[in-house]
Amino acid sequence: MSTIERIAPDLFLIGLVPPIDGFDNFIAAWLWKGPDATCLVDVGPAATADHLIAAIGTLGVDHLDYICLTHIHVDHAGAVGHLSRRFPDASIVCHPKGVAHIVDPEHLWQGTLKTLGETGRAYGPMLPLDPLAIAGPEQLKKAPFHLLDTPGHSPHHFAIAANGYLFAGEAGGVCLPLPSGEIYLRPATPPRFFLDISLASLDRLIATKPDMLCYGHFGMRRDGLALLVRHREQLLFWNRTLAAEIQGKPLESIDDFTSWVDLMIEADPLMGGFHQLPPAVQQRERSFLTNSVKGFAGYLAGLP
């Protein structure tokens, strides 16, 4: 299943829904029909590849110049092999640190299953990508977008700036609209996490002063610059709050992060709308919040 929302005359948000309860309005692919090129940013998981291809067809697009991956996690890049087979002339844009994992995705797939369990299995396994499909330096020189190296959420993360749009992947966290009209904003800081690297990446995004901030999870915000600044402050708040809780505890002695997840849900004002989320979405968010807390815990415990 997919949804299509026209954000601007040249920009479309394609929402992708894998077969997992509570994952509606969570995974975004972005189609930008620029004056000189048509670009797809992120492709979602393999399980929704056919829905994405159908949505692109519905928009009257039969050729893609670039397929850009913000990073190689399977909810963002899992369908890249499928899309490359459908659009063989498209140049695949991927962080150099991630290329080997999409050319031969078995190691990535096994890591996904280990980390995400049944959620990862529902995303579906990636198809291998022909290395010749990867955009080379000359192709990137001609590209109508600018790549920003933004490690933090992952070491193989690009944000993509084009025509006033900033496709931030998860470098700016996860931002969800709420029924009240407010937002729910949370960190996406799974292990291995390093605060200084994430802050430097956020500073790189803030410096672009984006007109429109396009999240991988989920949607577009015209107050994106302010949200990036608030998210930077949020990471520092999490660091202070969790540091006071951990107080040098060895990470291997912690077998339940539930209390820390509960603490951050109640203490972080940017997550105050958590209880407005439907129960299935709350369950999904608790799972991802646990990974985010683990990332901070490992950082604060001094793990390499």
The percent of residues above 70 in pLDDT, for the chain, comes to: 97
More confident site: 248 or 292: 292
For the chain, how are helix, strand and coil distributed in percent, rounded to 5?
45, 20, 35
E-state strands within the chain: 2-8, 11-16, 27-33, 38-41, 66-68, 91-93, 146-149, 158-162, 165-169, 174-177, 183-186, 212-215, 219-221
pLDDT-derived band at 222, boundaries 50, 70, 90: very high
Instruction: Render pLDDT for 90-104 as a digit per residue (tens, 0 to 9).
Output: 999 999 999 999 999
Mean of pLDDT values over 1-21: 95
More confident site: 16 or 141: 16
pLDDT-derived band at 169, boundaries 50, 70, 90: very high
CATH number for the domain that contains residue 251: 3.60.15.10
Distance CA 93, CA 243 (A): 37
At residue 2, the pLDDT reads 87
SS3 for 54-121 is HHHHHCCCCCCCEEECCCCCHHHHCCHHHHHHHCCCCEEECCCCCHHHHHCCHHHHHHHHHHHCHHHH
At residue 251, the pLDDT reads 63
pLDDT-derived band at 249, boundaries 50, 70, 90: low
Mean of pLDDT values over 209-220: 95
pLDDT higher than threshold 60 for residue 236 = yes
Q: Is 8 exposed, middle or buried (0-12, 13-18, 19+ CB in 10 A)?
A: middle
At residue 250, the pLDDT reads 65
pLDDT-derived band at 252, boundaries 50, 70, 90: low
Backbone torsions φ then ψ of 164, nearest 5 degrees = 85, -5
Mean of pLDDT values over 231-256: 83
Kindly report the CA angle at 93 between 53 and 64, in degrees rounded to 5? 35
Mean of pLDDT values over 218-229: 95
At residue 254, the pLDDT reads 67
Instruction: Render pLDDT for 30-81 as a digit per residue (tens, 0 to 9).
Output: 999 988 899 999 999 999 999 999 999 999 999 999 999 999 999 999 999 9
Interacting residues of 237 by C-beta distance below 8 A, sequence separation 6+:
268
Instruction: Render pLDDT for 109-163 as a digit per residue (tens, 0 to 9).
Output: 998 998 889 999 999 999 999 999 999 888 888 899 999 999 999 999 999 999 9
Distance CA 166, CA 145 (A): 10
pLDDT higher than threshold 90 for residue 211 = no
Q: Domain range holding 20?
A: 2-300
Which sign, positive or negative, has the C-alpha torsion 156, 162, 168, 169?
Answer: negative
Q: Tell me if 34 sits within 8 A of 144, measured CB to CB.
A: yes
pLDDT higher than threshold 70 for residue 268 = yes
At residue 291, the pLDDT reads 93
What rounded mean pLDDT belongs to the chain? Answer: 93
pLDDT higher than threshold 70 for residue 304 = no
pLDDT-derived band at 253, boundaries 50, 70, 90: low
Distance CA 295, CA 302 (A): 11
Tokens found for residue 74? 């399977």
pLDDT-derived band at 302, boundaries 50, 70, 90: confident
At residue 116, the pLDDT reads 87
Number of domains within the chain: 1
3-state secondary structure of 132: helix
Distance CA 17, CA 97 (A): 28
